[in-house]
Chain A
Amino acid sequence: MMPTENRTVQFKIYRYDPDRDAKPYMQDISVELDVTDRKLLDAMVRLKVKDDSLSFRRSCREGVCGSDAMNINGKNGLACLTDMSTFPVGKPIVLRPLPGLPVIRDLVVDMTQFFKQYHSIKPYLVNNDPLPEKERLQSPEDREELNGLYECILCACCTTACPSFWWNPDKFVGPAGLLAAYRFIADTRDQATTERLDNLEDPYRLFRCHSIMNCVDVCPKNLNPTKAIGKIKEMMLQRAI
């Protein structure tokens, strides 16, 4: 329900400044919200006015840039897409950084490992044919296959919710990387399918996924990495038998 008047909301926020704090702590803080503050990010911007030492990333404020991913009441999500009205009244909203990645400060995590895995699957089209005059064409049916894959904004909500990634962040590609891998495996214009499958045929890189489906549960873009991972496995099976 939309609130009709200003209200005060309680927060419990993970705070850690490695230069000043010996260890992380949870900060209790409340903020008065305007009726126009609809999303969690709006509230956080107000929090930042109140306590400007609070650090978090954000940019587009509309679910496009993927920078404000965080752990909200125990579940990964984007602050800018989370409605304030979805929170139970009277309970503090608990904000933590994405799990499984090193914390740089407060809600800002080091995404290096995440992007390393993403780059390891060569997230670009490989096609050695001479460049066509205009563009490489695809039939509408072939293009259809890329739906639900190309929309990923690399927010890392999924990968950092995946236990397999927590245990092996250096070796398991993770749901976001595997979704991207399938995006190029499925692309009829790409010519590196065999190499891409070779690259993933490994007990860690792909087969660490045990279909726990945490990734599907949290994706703010409603994508389904588990399904894409299943399709990669299916293709490997097809070429093996």
Chain B
Amino acid sequence: MKRIVVGAHYGLKDWIAQRVTAVVMAVFTIVMIAAIAGGATSSAEAWRGFMSHGAIRIATFLFAISLFYHAWIGIRDIWMDYVKPAGLRLALHVLTALALIAYTGWTLQILWRL
């Protein structure tokens, strides 16, 4: 017998996170556009100086985290819609999560090497 099981009692948190991360990314994008318009990329030195500024570093990191979390929800939604076998889906979830966590570490490395 095949039973339909629902009622995981989550979803709201992700829905809010999706919106909050979208706002963070939008704000960061605007800041970046303003900075580029203001000449932050006029030379490699200026660009490096700008990106290694403490506040910008933190902001970039927040942006990256938001992007990865946003991607997590979006990609997991795709697996949930199209991949029906539970084992395969779990594997894809795990791979996605691991990749995104790895990206986070990589981002840290890049930002604090500047």
In the complex, chain A residues 164-200 whose Cβ is within 8 Å of any chain B Cβ: 164, 167-168, 170-171, 198-199
Tally of chain B residues near chain A (CB < 8 A): 16
Name B residues whose Cβ lies closer than 8 Å to a Cβ of A. Answer: 4, 6-16, 77, 80-82
In the complex, chain A residues 107-127 whose Cβ is within 8 Å of any chain B Cβ: none
User: How many angstroms between the C-alpha atoms of A240 and B13 in the bound complex?
Assistant: 9
Asked if B12 and A207 sit within 8 Å, CB to CB, the answer is yes
Number of inter-chain CB pairs below 8 Å: 46
A contact patch SS: loop
B contact patch SS: helix
User: How many angstroms between the C-alpha atoms of A237 and B18 in the bound complex?
Assistant: 13
Please give the distance in Å from A231's CB to the nearest CB on chain B: 14
Q: A171-B6, A202-B7 are in contact. Are A233 and B15 (CB under 8 A)?
A: yes
The 8 closest A-B pairs by CB, nearest first: A207-B11, A203-B11, A167-B81, A170-B4, A236-B12, A202-B6, A171-B6, A204-B6
User: How many angstroms between the C-alpha atoms of A15 and B80 in the bound complex?
Assistant: 33
Asked if A168 and B15 sit within 8 Å, CB to CB, the answer is no
Contact of A201 with B by CB under 8 A: yes
User: How many angstroms between the C-alpha atoms of A171 and B7 in the bound complex?
Assistant: 10
Asked if A168 and B81 sit within 8 Å, CB to CB, the answer is yes
Q: A170-B4, A171-B4, A171-B6 are in contact. Are A204 and B80 (CB under 8 A)?
A: yes
Q: Mark A151-169, 1 if CB is under 8 A from B, else 0.
A: 0000000000000100110
Contact of A205 with B by CB under 8 A: yes
Q: Chain B residues with Cβ under 8 A from A206's Cβ?
A: 11
Please give the distance in Å from B73's CB to the nearest CB on chain A: 10
Q: Chain B residues with Cβ under 8 A from A198's Cβ?
A: 9
Asked if B9 and A202 sit within 8 Å, CB to CB, the answer is yes
Q: Chain B residues with Cβ under 8 A from A233's Cβ?
A: 12, 15
